[in-house]
Amino acid sequence: MMTRPLFSAFVLLAPTALAFAGAQEAPRVAVGDTIGGRAVVLVAPKTGTGEVTVEVSTDPAFGAVSFSTVLNVTDALVPGKVFLEGLPSGVRHYVRATHAGQARTATFNARGSSVAAPAASSGVRFGVSGDWRGDVGIFNSILNADERDLEFFVKLGDTIYADVPSPAVPNGPAQTLNEFRAKHVENYAPSNGIDPWGDLAAAMPTFSMIDDHEVTNDFDGGAWDAVNGWYNQSSLYVNGLQAFVEHNAIVPATWPALGDARFDGRPNLYRSFSWGTDAAVFLLDTRSFRDASLPPVANPFDPTEVFTFIQASFNPARTMMGYAQLGLLVQNLAAAQAAGVTWKFVMTSQPMQNFGPLAGEDRWEGYAAERAYLLGQIMQLGIKDVVFVTADFHGTIVNDVTVPNPVNPQQQLYTGMFEIITGSVAYSAPAGPTFAQLGVSTGVLNAQQYAYYLTLPPAAQDVFVQNVLDGVVSQYGYSATGIQDPSIAASFTVGGPVAVHHYGWTEFEVNAQSKALTMTTWGVDWYTPQEAAADPAAIIARPLTVRQRFTVQSHLAPCLADRDGNRRVDGADLAVVLAAWGELGSSQDLTGDGVVDGPDLAFLLAAWGSCPQ
């Protein structure tokens, strides 16, 4: 196993954080970007500086250590990093960080591999969320993530709010590199006797992506003007991106010389990987290379203004991802489909579903030509079971992903794809109250309706907001919330498609045998920064409950003889059936005649080889 240490440092506690005894006295440790036998380990001593010993083993007791090094952390604003290579696939590893006699251990399974060559393993469970503000703090909405047996967690943007004052940077937006660093320190520090991000990072690897607030609100990295040049070469962007990469378990990378000035030598945050044969993940940077946003729509009910916006959004010369990244995404999606990966999770910090023109300039709706091209490529290439996983809206909303009919643009067509918006970890106020207040300001709701909304419990408020959203999007011919696409078999067992009055995260689980995808959103009732400051113990005591759960069936052709879920019928499946020979009422009864016998063996042998796609 090869390693490359990076010597730097990190402040563990923000000025307002409380020190406490126990595991949190130990160094911070996190593992990330576990792809293709590689990983990055991030560590930081509690004291901010000092020597940290990093050890790697496949033995939880560290009886045999495969790698050990000492990082001398000298800068109190930057964590230390070690880069690991040559990790065997599918093997659980343990990383121990020790400082001043205190140790903390992180664990991860090195299942991440190229989308074109997935590891031969089935089933997966992982988590996703985004959006947490330092002035809200506590972050108890993710307290159970380390208990859910997740294999990895995706931090999907707005991991800090650099442009919002908070205790770490109280006098305004972050400008300098050290101010950006301080915001990250604040958001990952333990406080009030709990360490949500530290516990999560110790239990699983993480994958991290930016949205806008890692730099500033609604920035367009690919915007250019004659005075300032490219936005993604400005000092604010450079400082924000450097701090983001330093404070997350990310392998630093840059785009090669492509002959495209907006890409050449700029940070490359795009990543794709498969996690066994049931999940491929694509992490998109939809900020760094996007063209300047369109002018916002002031009146979403003015037909002329709306038409002008929609026409401009379909300009094929405008890009949200940049052409290099867009081409790579399509290529990787096709490779995952060809490799037989079941579910393809496209992680993008901005929603793909349609909400209408209001604030649409910042979403995929503002780049409608590129959106239509991407969705069209997915359909034309026969790429199945694509799920868009997004954040930024500070609530969970599930909907179809549709495209305009090229013959009749007023009609939306289903694509066989859907989206789930996740989060927020902690953003005050969440989407529900925000949408309700927006409804009043735009005239969608009157004072009596809003007053009624305020009397409802959270679950009923979710339904209220769902009805408001459905009423708005229907005016533009868009699909109502939920999954209406007849080609997608989906069923909700808890809640409905809209859950927007909590802070939380979403769990994704693919069943190894059936390939069904179940999404469960966990949350706590939302709170304000003032409530958190006044009684943090009461906030921490709020129960984490399931706010939404639904299951979607895969489009894969059934393969009943595949008993271990690897999409091949082979000796392993034969062994499973033979082990149940003669049993009555067994799950290995392939023919349904009540007993495992000769007909079941014949059924299995007839299906020998790769399962149909």
pLDDT along the chain (613 residues), means of 10: 43 30 70 97 90 97 96 93 94 96 95 91 95 95 98 98 96 96 95 95 98 98 94 98 98 96 97 97 99 96 94 97 98 97 97 96 98 98 98 98 90 97 97 96 95 98 98 93 97 98 98 96 97 97 98 87 84 94 92 93 93 77
Backbone angles phi, psi at 73, to 5 degrees: -85, 110
- Under DSSP, the state recorded for 150 is -
Rounded to 10 deg, the angle between the 368-380 and 303-313 helix axes is 60
Question: What is the reported pLDDT for 408?
Answer: 87
Q: CB of 240 within 8 A of CB of 180?
A: yes
How many helices, marked H, and strands, marked E, lie in the chain? 13, 27
* Measured distance CA(91)–CA(89) in Å, rounded: 6
* Measured distance CA(249)–CA(266) in Å, rounded: 19
The torsion defined by the Cα of 226, 227, 231 and 234, in degrees rounded to 10, comes to: 140
CA atoms within 13 A on the CB side of 529: 12
Both tokens of 275, joined, read: 């996690």
Given the DSSP bridges, would you call strands 386-390 and 517-525 parallel, antiparallel or unpaired? unpaired
Rounded to 10 deg, the angle between the 196-203 and 177-188 helix axes is 80
Express the helix, strand and coil content of the chain in percent, nearest 5 each. Answer: 25, 25, 45
* Residue indicated by tokens 């002008």: 308
Nearest to 273 by CA among 420, 520, 89: 89
* Measured distance CA(105)–CA(59) in Å, rounded: 12
Nearest to 77 by CA among 189, 158, 170: 189
* Measured distance CA(270)–CA(334) in Å, rounded: 16
* Residue indicated by tokens 């020597």: 51
* Measured distance CA(262)–CA(324) in Å, rounded: 10
Element (H, E) at 401: strand 396-404
Question: What is the reported pLDDT for 1?
Answer: 53
Rounded to 10 deg, the angle between the 571-579 and 598-606 helix axes is 170
Computed from CA positions of residues 564, 569, 571, 577, in that sequence, does the dihedral angle turn out positive or negative?
positive
Question: What is the reported pLDDT for 501?
Answer: 98
Nearest to 393 by CA among 367, 344, 354: 354
**Residue 336 three-state SS:** helix
Computed from CA positions of residues 389, 391, 396, 402, in that sequence, does the dihedral angle turn out positive or negative?
negative
Nearest to 598 by CA among 576, 612, 577, 571: 577
Element (H, E) at 109: strand 102-109
Beta bridge partners of residue 421, listed in sequence order: 390, 397
Nearest to 416 by CA among 389, 381, 378, 390: 378
Q: Which strand ranges, in their side-by-side order, compose the sheet holding 271-275?
A: 112-113, 271-275, 279-283, 343-347, 386-390, 412-421, 396-404, 498-499
Residue-range domain boundaries for the chain: 568-610
Query: Which one of 2.60.460, 1.10.1760, 3.30.70, 1.10.1330 gives the CATH number of domain 568-610?
Result: 1.10.1330
